[in-house]
Every structure is written in structure tokens, then in C-alpha cells.
Amino acid sequence: MKKLMEIKVNGETREILIEPWWSLARALREQLGLTGTKISCETGDCGACTVLIDGKAVKSCLFPVMKARGREILTIEGISSNKRGKLHPLQQAFVEHFAVQCGYCTPGMIMAAKALLDETPKPTEAQVKEYLCGNLCRCTGYTKIIEAVLAAADKM
């Protein structure tokens, strides 16, 4: 039987109907329509489902939705300011540096990069690579992504 649960996403408290065995990723996508969070490998390898929970990067496909109670969840939909068309510096840098091809890994990549920059505002290239090792991209070859993250760090 589905359960009613309160969840705080992108600063807003919402009520959702969930099954206790659902992952957070599934609840975000199916109950809140926040489809920016992608599901891909569902084994915690690819990072497409990365969101921030209480400011920390987490793979939402391995995170039981039941654990989300009382936590602050931030998804790709919540990182820019609410003004239409205004992007987060990381998003802007991904656009400017052509760090997107098919785009499927991009939300997870940006969320992981945001966690990195929140922790380490001016990371070295090696730190970016190390931090993003849990986010796979099958198009870009990573170079542009790393450039974009470093450029965003410079501007922030």
C-alpha cells in the first residue's frame, strides 16, 4: 500500500505517495515530475541520478525515499535562481564550454560539481577529476566537462 510522506525538495515541502521500497530518484521523477534527475545504471556507478541531500552529493537511485524524511533535497531544477532563463554559473559554463552532447549525464555531473565547488571553491584539475570519477559520460570524453567546472569555479 502506498504511503503518504512529506519531502522537502528545492526549498519546498511537498506531500507525495510512495511505496517504501522506492528509491529517491523514482519518487522525484514519478511523484514530483522532477525528471531532470536521470536514472541510468541503477547500481550507483554512473552518477546520472546525483542530487544533493543536506548539501552533499548522493546517488539518488541507491537512496531509499524513506530516508529523505526531514532532509533538504536539491535537484538540478533547484540550483538556478527562480528568474526565468537565469542559469547557475555551472550550467552557464557547461553551455559556454560545449560540455554537453547528449545531455543525459549533465544534471548529475552538474550536481556533483556543485557539491565539489561548495566544499572546495577553487579546485585543481586533479580534484575535479577525482570528485567526478563517479559520474560517467559516454559522449564528451570529459575534457570539456572538466574545463567547464574549472571555468565556473573561476567565476563564482
Partner 1 sequence: MRFEYLEPETIEEALTILNRYQGRSKVIAGGTDLMLQMRNKSIDPEYVVDITRIPGLNHIAFDGPQGLRLGALTTIRALETSVEIQRRAPVLSQAAGQLGSVAVRNVATLGGNLCNALPSAETSQALVALSGRVRIAGSKGERIVPLEKFFTGVGKTVLEPDELLLEILVPGCPPHTSGAYLKHSPRGPIDLAIVNITVLITMDPEKKICRDAKIVLGAVGPTPLRARKAEEMLKGKRIDEILIEGAAQMASEEAHPRRGSIRGSVEYKKEMVRVLTGRAMKELTVFETES
Could you list the residues that contact partner 1 (CB under 8 A)? Answer: 19-21, 23, 42-45, 47, 50, 53, 56-59, 61-64, 66-67, 112, 115-116, 131, 133-135
Tell me the closest approach of the beta carbon of residue 32 to partner 1, in angstroms.
19
Least distance from partner 1 to the Cβ atom of residue 115, Å: 7
**Which residue's CB is nearer to partner 1, number 8 or number 96?**
8
Under DSSP, is residue 120 helix (H, G, I), strand (E, B) or coil? coil
Which C-beta is closer to partner 1: that of 84 or that of 152? 152
DSSP E strands, 3-55: 3-9, 12-18, 50-53
- Tally Cβ neighbours within 10 Å of residue 143: 10
Looking up cell 510522506 gives 5
Smallest gap from Cβ 84 to partner 1, in A, equals 30
Nearer to partner 1, 64 or 80 (CB): 64
Which among 32, 30, 1 is positioned nearest to 14, based on CA atoms?
A: 32
Cβ-based nearer residue to partner 1, 10 or 129: 129
Residue pair 102/70 in contact (Cβ under 8 Å)? The answer is no
Q: How far is the CB of 133 from partner 1 (least distance, A)?
A: 5
Residue with cell 570529459: 142
